[in-house]
Amino acid sequence: MMTNNAPGLPSKDEYAEWYAGYVALVPDADILAALAAQPDDLDTLLGDLTETSSTFRYAAGKWSIRQLVGHLIDGERVFALRALCFSRGETAALPGFDENSYVASSAYADVPLEELRLEFRTLRAANVMMFGRLGTEAWNRRGTASGYSVSVRALAYIMVGHPRHHMKVIGERYLPPLDITARRLVWMKGV
């Protein structure tokens, strides 16, 4: 059962400075609604992108669209684990993660885009349920990850801001060379 304990926007002391850009992308007061809507936003952005198009890289050494969606999946798992641990009162520090080595060690480049979209949607649905059951005390708990203090509330905002950042990158750098500007412009209005 989902509770209706809106946690409110996190303050700047609830997350490391490098997450400020992600948090700034989430002015939404209803973080649960923002979390729940994001898989639809990703589907709208990617639309009916072909499997061939999903292997596109806008420059040498950059991730393909598939790998970028895989990175969103990795981020979802890492941030959700942190939120779960800290909401339960975990006091042990949690490690950081090197997104480049994670993607390099994955098979995301070979996974069909539709499967990746479903995986992100499934993970996010489970995480919305987890966040929806948190009480005020749990939202406000903090722990240490990557050597920095972070609150559960801030992690929820990071979990929305991180994909918004990368979806903006997809809209600006991946879709125009693929001549998918109309869909990009429609989606970008919502960001």
Instruction: Say which CATH number the domain at 60 has.
Output: 1.20.120.450
Length of the chain: 191
Per-residue pLDDT, 71: 98
Residue 12 domain-assigned (yes or no): no
Residue 1 domain-assigned (yes or no): no
- Domain of residue 57 covers 23-188
Residue 162 domain-assigned (yes or no): yes
Instruction: Name the residue among 26, 145, 36 with its Cα closest to residue 81.
Output: 145
Per-residue pLDDT, 48: 79
Residue 57 and residue 18: Cα distance in Å, rounded?
25
Per-residue pLDDT, 189: 47
Total tally of structural domains belonging to the chain: 1
**Would you say 41 and 187 are in contact if contact means Cβ atoms under 8 Å apart?**
yes
Residue 6 domain-assigned (yes or no): no
84: enclosing H helix or E strand: helix 65-87
Is-above-0.85 flag for pTM?
Answer: yes
Below-70 pLDDT ranges, the chain: 1-6, 179-191
Per-residue pLDDT, 118: 98
